[in-house]
Amino acid sequence: MMVSLRTRARHVRCRPVLPSSLCSCYSSEERWDGLGHVTPVIVMSQTDGQIRAQLVEQQKCLEQQTEMRVQLLQDLQDFFRKKSEIETEYSRNLEKLAERFMAKTRSTKDHQQYKKDQNLFSPVNCWYLLLNQVRRESKDHATLSDVYLNNVILRFMQISEDSTRLLKKSKDIAFQLQEDLMKVLNELYTVMKTYHMYHAETLSAEAKLREAERQEERTPPPSEPAAPPPRTTATDPALPARSRR
């Protein structure tokens, strides 16, 4: 009986014990019980709160990033809209400048000479080349203003709308995933509570087993009864006569 109890006790105690480096990762309320297990109720309740707080923090960060992105896109739209206005105004001023000096030149005799000698490199020809260059530059700035207004700004508006739409979709997906995660965690919490209950029963059984071992060690083994004396005729008259002979 002593051997069987000790063998069972040795079999029950053979459980992995985690190193002290892992035990130090837990707070004073989450110490290991000596058999490689930590109280699951405490761990699960704290983990549930930490996960919820982390998910909320991630959602806030996503909203802040989207707000910053939308604000930046709005600033870019305002910048290019203002630049488009400046380019348009600059184009008009260049056109007015070229037109004023072109009208002034047409009223002179040099204009007729320019028509005759367009291929000659004269000061008059250089002057007309400069005015024509100003006109082309005016058209280029007008085109650039149109690109800013009808292409760049519209693209920034589309990106801003896409960012807002993606934020809404991401929040919906995150909410659904959070609900699924909380559901799984609740199921895990229930399973671990059941495990904790059985684990407590196991610890109680081990304590009773150790107490039984100690009681058995303290109890002395019973002494063997003495062998009865051999039966003789003197002691047993009931023996048959043949055995007497």
Using DSSP, state whether 3 is helix, strand or coil.
helix
Q: Is 149 exposed, middle or buried (0-12, 13-18, 19+ CB in 10 A)?
A: middle
Q: Please state the pTM of the whole predicted model.
A: 0.56
- Please state, in angstroms and rounded to a whole number, the distance separating the CA atoms of residues 99 and 229: 152
At residue 97, does pLDDT exceed 90?
Answer: yes
What is the percent of the chain with per-residue pLDDT over 70, rounded to a whole number? 64
Give residue 110's pLDDT band: very low, low, confident or very high (50, 70, 90): low
**Using one digit for the tens of pLDDT, what is the confidence trace for 169-203?**
999 998 898 889 888 988 988 898 999 999 999 99
| Domain boundaries of the chain, sorted by first residue | 37-208
Which is more confident, 113 or 206? 206
Which of 103-117, 119-133, 160-174 is predicted with the least confidence, judged by mean pLDDT?
103-117
- What is the separation of C-alpha 113 from the centre of its chain, rounded to a whole number of angstroms? 79
Backbone angles phi, psi at 52, to 5 degrees: -60, -45
- Please state, in angstroms and rounded to a whole number, the distance separating the CA atoms of residues 199 and 114: 108
**Using one digit for the tens of pLDDT, what is the confidence trace for 14-47?**
443 333 433 433 343 444 444 455 554 555 556 7
Give the amino acid at 17.
V
